[in-house]
Amino acid sequence: MIVGIDIGGSTTDAVLLHAGEIVVVTIETGDPIAAAAGALGKLLSTAGGSLTNIRAIAVSGGGARWLKEELFGVPIVKVPEITAIGVGGSTLAEKPSALVVSLGTGTALVSVHGEKIEHVGGTGIGGGTLLGLARHLLGVTRLDTLERMAAHGDLSHVDLTVGDIAGGPVGIVPANATASNFGKVRADPTPADKALALVNMVAEVTLTVSMMAARAQQHHDVVLTGKLTRVQPLRERIEAMRSRRGENFIIPPYAEYATAIGAARTVNAIAP
């Protein structure tokens, strides 16, 4: 059996790949070594396996650098995060060529053309931005609270649209497109309005950057991974943008664990 562990900026995921089955667990990343050890323990108690059955532990993510050669006597193989994201996203979506986007604490963009996996860029706007600004703007620390608030928000109290400024569409941009996130400074929005505008801004920035990177890399399929894909209003924004764009946005099964799964699959492919 191969275990994959992704020690990310916010969460540490551990996955077990065995006979076509995928078992996953998540814990918060605190100390990276403790997180890896804890995630492995949780995984084994969930899946009912034992350490002796694990051939190797594939480790990826920003915290991977803190681990040595072994964890509890099991060999560790470090997988570069870009490789893990690319392999995870493209195999889960069953797209050998795609732009894979990791929507985590931050956002990373990875181009996959078969065996060729390239880091094409990223942005600091991501899930961490959502949580950080929720706290600074609204005093909200929980994502589910933010999601509930956003459900009652009205974007027109916070954002300026192209129509607000130009009185109608401009070139290829429709009147209801955002001209300026949080740009409507002469209105008094409610906390719900701000919550929705915040989720919307993170969605618009990450999806627009993804779309442009996809076009630059000649990709039609854009695979979205990472735990930000779990946030309901963000999924709704993706749905709303889908009809307006030529790109095919996909959130595959296990999208939240794509990096850990990609790490495990990379090691499995090297030494099956």
Ligand X SMILES: Nc1ncnc2c1ncn2[C@@H]1O[C@H](COP(=O)(O)OP(=O)(O)OP(=O)(O)O)[C@@H](O)[C@H]1O
CB of 188 to ligand X, least distance (A): 27
Which residue blocks in 189-257 are alpha helix, DSSP H? Answer: 191-216, 232-242
Q: Which residue in the set 9, 80, 163, 183 belongs to the binding site for ligand X (CB under 6 A)?
A: 9
Stretch that binds ligand X, among 41-49, 71-79, 204-212, 224-232 (CB under 6 A): 224-232
Torsions phi, psi of 10, nearest 5? -110, -45
Q: Which residue in the set 5, 7, 8, 110 belongs to the binding site for Mg ion (CB under 5 A)?
A: 8
Q: Which residue in the set 60, 91, 102, 111 belongs to the binding site for ligand X (CB under 6 A)?
A: 102
Three-state DSSP at 49 gives: coil
Nearer to ligand X, 88 or 161 (CB): 88
CB of 169 to ligand X, least distance (A): 33
Q: With 0-12 CB in 10 A as exposed, 13-18 as middle and 19+ as buried, what is 144?
A: exposed
Structure tokens at 191: 């906390």
Three-state DSSP at 87 gives: helix
Residues near Mg ion (CB under 5 A), total: 3
CB of 228 to Mg ion, least distance (A): 10
Which residue matches tokens 């946005």?
A: 249
**Closest residue by Cα to residue 236 from 209, 262, 207:** 207
Measured between alpha carbons, how far is 34 from 128 in angstroms, rounded to an integer? 22
Residues 95-114 that bind Mg ion (CB under 5 A): 104
In the bound state, the residue with its beta carbon closest to ligand X is: 8
168: Cβ–Cβ under 8 A, 6 or more apart, which residues?
175
Q: Which residue in the set 5, 133, 143, 214 belongs to the binding site for ligand X (CB under 6 A)?
A: 143
Torsions phi, psi of 236, nearest 5? -65, -40
62 near ligand X, judged by CB under 6 A: yes
Question: Mask 248-267, x = binds Mg ion (CB under 5 A)?
Answer: -----------x--------
Q: What angle do CA 102, 106, 108 make, to 5 degrees?
A: 40
Nearer to ligand X, 111 or 161 (CB): 111
Which residue matches tokens 């396996």?
A: 49
Q: Which residue in the set 89, 104, 153, 189 belongs to the binding site for ligand X (CB under 6 A)?
A: 104
131 near ligand X, judged by CB under 6 A: yes
* H-helix or E-strand spanning residue 258: helix 258-270
CB of 124 to Mg ion, least distance (A): 14
Residues 156-215 that bind Mg ion (CB under 5 A): none
128 near ligand X, judged by CB under 6 A: yes
- Structure-derived torsion over alpha carbons of residues 96, 100, 102, 103, reported in degrees to the nearest 10: -130
Residues lying near Mg ion in the complex (CB under 5 A) are found at 8, 104, 259
Residues at the contact surface with ligand X, assessed by CB under 6 A: 6, 8-11, 61-62, 102, 104-106, 127-128, 130-131, 143, 226-228, 230-231
